[in-house]
Structure 1
């Protein structure tokens, strides 16, 4: 590790933790310089999950990472999204040499994964999220075998394409409970397409689980799900979670209030005709009217349609999730 020392903690940080406050401050300075949308980093804690720490030659912390493990049994909703066994690291990397610090942190993480008795087999993954514009340590992520997997992108209020009308024979309206079957059909088409990129694994229960989630949203008024229809036939939708339904997303960015777009779907045979742009324009007008300052969404890095489309709509990457499968493929 070139003079850096790593250790794992299962207790609270010692003393006042002033040295870790200095670590967080150094991270905050770098994040502010590279991306004003990034939130303030939080001080690492080890009371709930094991905490890896890396110190320099003077004993000053230069990196910390909380290790978290999640798993999904057959039949659970999470089984559709990613690998069943997921090992997450939440890194806080500062100091004058962030690439070197992250390199040591990832090496220590690999050692900890090797010691686990279970959960690191063929259906496992090691994942972490890194600021998209913080290029200071990307080479360390690559060297350890991690690959960019998905993007959290953001659009600030009134950014993106001008208001757009749908094609002449297409109408857009708020969906309600009567549209449940058609909405589930469109969502399942999207799930099957996303399977190509390794982020979705359609299970026997996925359709019914999707139906349950959609039914709960459609029961609310307004649903915040807009449906595009061509002569009465559903051809696309956009599903928005306004700020009161997207509280989980608020800590991911500095701006507020924040909304989240969960799905933007256009039927395969209808793509390229302006329906997606019109749906997004419709949703943006509603979000801007409700004074939503920032809207977030996720897309697969390998999806050849999502990145270019959402960029045209005014979205740009804020966070990138990096992954390696199986977990012990981490170098």
Structure 2
């Protein structure tokens, strides 16, 4: 027997009593111990989604998780970034045995997925995000069949390799409205490469959607999109969002203000020549000059280039998204 009791709450808010305050305090202490860049965890109460709760033998909650379902219809931009049916769990796990509590929480989540009326077919996934340095979660996640999928990495202001100049025949500049075709081409080339790692699914609409979003971004002054050109031909690109355009990342990290790099890519024939390092250094200088405390970005765990490169550039994992496909493959 595990000694844990699991419940599903559909009506009452999870977090109405002192017992949930104690759970939150436990999670807060562990997060601060494992990683000072983790934010203060949110209060689990008043969630509009059904909540799973795991209690110990004394009926004190030691874990809770809100369940969320996202479905992307054909033509929606979300279809580019994952399977159409996504079942998310947002866990908060505390107490003296977080490994055991998470194990019970995942077991209860699996039972709930069994009862889901739709969205658990071949094109579905069960996903959650877990602090990268909180190793207490690794064994239960693996036992339940989940695998690390993407990393959200963080770089504090001033970290990274020393400034480097690009090769002589390469120039770096901010992109403008005349660069729409070039930036769309680079984004689509990156998409085609990322398809190898199972996180990007190019749709018939993807190129036009990229064109629409880039068209708006390039009209801003400055665009925060940098191009590397070799004798006038685009060979690399970084697209950053400064803090006022990256407010969605603020709850994910303790330091502020926070920026986000959404795209960073150099063409295949250009890799290994210092262009990417010079391009990212250029962007880092701009972000540091604007007082950005921390910069975040995502990369696929299975991408053999991203992890080593971003580590050299001063980034380290902050959050890891774990996934299993289809959703009912969760054990």
User: Fold-level match, TM-score > 0.5?
Assistant: yes
Q: What are the residue-to-residue correspondences of 1:1-331 with 2, within 5 Å?
A: 2-13=2-13, 16-331=16-331
* Structure 2 residue matching 1:40: 3-state secondary structure: coil
Instruction: Answer whether contact 2:151 2:319 (CA < 8 A) is retained.
Output: yes
> 1:35, 1:253 → 2: CA distance?
10
Q: Note the C-alpha offset of 1:179.
A: 0.3
In structure 1, what is the Cα distance between the partners aligned to 2:115 and 2:3?
Answer: 23
User: Secondary structure, in 3 states, of the residue corresponding to 1:43?
Assistant: coil
- Superposed CA deviations along residues 187-240 of structure 1, whole A, max 9, x for unmatched, are 100000000000000001000001111111101000000000001000001000
CA contact (8 A) 1:240 1:261 kept: yes
d(CA) in 1 for partners of 2:224, 2:47: 38
C-alpha deviation, 1:164, in angstroms: 1.1
The whole-number CA distance in structure 2 between the counterparts of 1:5 and 1:125 is: 26
SS at match of 1:91: strand
Q: CA shift at 1:16, angstroms?
A: 4.1
Structure 1 segments, 4+ long, off by >2 Å, are: 11-16
SS at match of 2:163: coil
By how many angstroms is 1:42 displaced? 1.0
Q: Distance in 2 between matches of 1:297 and 1:306?
A: 11
Residues 130 and 137 in structure 2, CA contact (< 8 A), matched pair in contact too: no
For structure 1, the residue ranges without an aligned partner over 5 or more in a row are none
Deviation of the 1:12 alpha carbon: 3.2
**In 2, distance between residues paired with 1:202 and 1:313?**
28
Give the CA RMSD over aligned residues.
1.0
1:15–1:106 distance in 2 versus 1, CA, 3 Å: closer
Kept after mapping to 2: 8 A contact 1:8/1:50: yes
Contact 1:9 1:46 (8 Å CA) reproduced: no
CA contact (8 A) 1:45 1:51 kept: no
CA displacement at 1:15 relative to structure 2? 8.1
Distance 2:114 2:245 in 1: 39
Distance of 1:170 and 1:103 partners within structure 2: 52
- Report deviation, 1:46: 4.8
Q: TM-score, normalised to structure 1's length?
A: 0.99
User: Where in structure 2 are there 5+ consecutive unaligned residues?
Assistant: none
The aligned length equals 331
Classify the secondary structure of the residue corresponding to 2:320.
strand
CA distance in 1, matches of 2:293, 2:302: 28
**Alpha carbons 1:68, 1:88 under 8 Å: kept:** yes
Distance in 1 (CA, whole Å) between partners of 2:163 and 2:45 is 45
Offset of 1:47 from its aligned partner? Answer: 4.0
- Secondary structure of the 1:302 match is coil
Task: Judge conservation of contact 2:14–2:47 (CA < 8 Å) in 1.
Answer: no
